[in-house]
Chain A
Amino acid sequence: MVRMVKLASIVVIVLIFIACSPSNLILTGNIEANTKITYEGKFDEILDVVAPNAKYALLIGTDGTAVLLTSQSFSNIYIQKNNSVWDSKATNLPAVCNIRNLKEICIYSRIPNNNNNFADRLNNFEFLGQSSKNGYYIRKYKERNGDQF
């Protein structure tokens, strides 16, 4: 009986540990399913490994704010993890590219791995405008769901 309680306690502790540990950042779009970002770094270098033919990336925050970037901008974005949340940092791009608490990055790949899920996902967003800085253009969106919009 004592042994059973000990075992259950260990299982609970392990589950709590897993729940509290920083999760990976999900990549969606027309790329291989279940692709994730697991480490910090320059966005272009990360994508070279996980989605090498990426042409567009839609960075999506948990508050529904999203930014559409072309591949020319990828080297100007740094993906970093603060405590348990993922952020994007950029100094050479419009300020809106600094998104706190990313929940997902949706990728459009030149060589698709499945149907155009990128276009489907983008259709969930309302276009807010376009801006540029240092010759880099971005489009700003807001997710259309419930009270987020």
Chain B
Amino acid sequence: MKIKLVGIIMLLNSLLFSIELIDADRIVQIDRAKLQNYNKIEITTQRNKDGEEKNDNWIGIKITDILDEFKVTNYDKLCFISSDNYLVRISKEDLLSNESILALVRNGKNLDDEHIRLVIPSIRDMFWIQDISTIKTETISDLPFPHTIHFAESILHQTQIREELPPFVKVSGYTFTEIMSSAFPFLKDEILIVGKDGVKHNLDYDNYLKNAVLIKRDNSLDLRSPDMPAGMWIKDLAYVQIFDVAVIFINHFSSLEDVRSLLDWDNFPEKVILHTDEKTEKHISSEKFNFGIWSKARWLEW
């Protein structure tokens, strides 16, 4: 009886499985049976996982074959979202120039629906999202170059540290919203979050960051949110940008040149206008943060 019940549940699960492909106003459902009909390719990957060399053989469907079938061409990035809200973005260039597949078989074993995953050999495996529920096209290009940059430390100094940050326990820090609302005219829509190690997420405020907290760890802050899978939390938060305004955590940088390097900025102004509580001065943008007025600056613009 128990076995029958499990069988029925598995059958129902399988019938319920589908990946939603969203392209502009069009939504297409792709179920497992549909996936089985595509041509398959085989690829091998080598990666280092927790200090261990892992070699895998994958059989799957080229992502471009799925896009071609539905004539999806007008996009800059594909956004893959899992059932537990994990999210990765892959650029069109990466998808077209690499053997990016939706893997159905790993080392000869068929993958369960929730383990069907994106595999792109030349991209770090943290982007190989599984349990994919949605694939969404995005035409949004890069963010504007920030016109105003706030120094997070000046905001933190004026904010009372919290000893309780539910649902997280035995931590202290701040809420994301209380710190960022001091710098940004609005907290809404897409927000770029960057860690010191260069990990970047472009996240929707309401879905991911509204309940986020900044947890103090030594001289650094980690970003965690109950609305984000733990794999997406940012260690050593270094940079936040909404539209053309940014916040930097200067303890991770020695100068704006470091910020430029982390963010891959092409353009860079030669001079910036620094604002402190007392005065406003024009300075060379390559000066070190521990030099003169920089250590007292609250924000800058150009």
| Residues in A lying within 8 Å of B, measured CB to CB | 55-56, 68, 70, 72, 108, 116, 118-119, 122-123, 127, 129-132, 137, 139
Question: Which residues of the other chain, A, contact B185 by a CB distance below 8 angstroms?
Answer: 55-56, 108, 116, 118-119
Contact B147 A72 (CB under 8 A): yes
Using A70-B147, A131-B140, A132-B141 as known contacts, say yes or no to A123 and B188 having CB atoms under 8 A apart.
Answer: yes
Question: Which residues of the other chain, A, contact B243 by a CB distance below 8 angstroms?
Answer: 68, 70, 130, 137, 139
Docked Cα-Cα span, A68 to B138, in Å, equals: 19
Question: Which residues of the other chain, A, contact B140 by a CB distance below 8 angstroms?
Answer: 129-131
Q: A108-B185, A122-B188 are in contact. List 13 more A-B contacts (CB 8 A).
A: A55-B185, A70-B243, A118-B185, A119-B186, A119-B188, A127-B189, A127-B190, A129-B138, A131-B139, A131-B140, A132-B141, A132-B144, A137-B243
Question: Which residues of the other chain, B, contact A123 by a CB distance below 8 angstroms?
Answer: 188
Contact A70 B144 (CB under 8 A): yes
Question: Which residues of the other chain, A, contact B147 by a CB distance below 8 angstroms?
Answer: 70, 72
- The secondary-structure label for the interface of chain B is loop
| Residues in B lying within 8 Å of A, measured CB to CB | 138-141, 143-144, 147, 185-190, 243-244
Contact A137 B190 (CB under 8 A): no
Q: Which 3 A-B pairs have the closest CB atoms?
A: A137-B144, A127-B189, A119-B186
Using A72-B147, A137-B243 as known contacts, say yes or no to A131 and B189 having CB atoms under 8 A apart.
Answer: no
Q: Which of A70, A119, A127, A131 contacts B244 (CB 8 A)?
A: A70
- The listed residue with most A CB atoms (<10 A of its CB), out of B139, B187, B188, is B188
Docked Cα-Cα span, A139 to B141, in Å, equals: 12
Minimal beta-carbon separation of A136 from chain B (angstroms): 8
Question: Which residues of the other chain, A, contact B190 by a CB distance below 8 angstroms?
Answer: 127, 130
Nearest A-chain residue to B185, judged by Cβ: A108
Minimal beta-carbon separation of B209 from chain A (angstroms): 14
What are 27 of the A-B contact pairs (CB < 8 Å)? A55-B185, A56-B185, A68-B243, A70-B144, A70-B147, A70-B243, A72-B244, A108-B186, A118-B185, A118-B186, A119-B185, A119-B186, A122-B186, A122-B188, A123-B188, A127-B188, A127-B189, A127-B190, A129-B138, A129-B140, A130-B140, A130-B190, A131-B141, A132-B141, A132-B144, A137-B144, A139-B243
Docked Cα-Cα span, A56 to B148, in Å, equals: 13
Contact A139 B189 (CB under 8 A): yes
Docked Cα-Cα span, A108 to B243, in Å, equals: 14
Minimal beta-carbon separation of A124 from chain B (angstroms): 11
Minimal beta-carbon separation of A57 from chain B (angstroms): 12
Question: Which residues of the other chain, B, contact A129 by a CB distance below 8 angstroms?
Answer: 138-140
Question: Which residues of the other chain, B, contact A55 by a CB distance below 8 angstroms?
Answer: 185
Question: Which residues of the other chain, A, contact B188 by a CB distance below 8 angstroms?
Answer: 119, 122-123, 127
Docked Cα-Cα span, A129 to B243, in Å, equals: 11
Docked Cα-Cα span, A56 to B151, in Å, equals: 21
- The listed residue with most A CB atoms (<10 A of its CB), out of B140, B185, B188, is B185
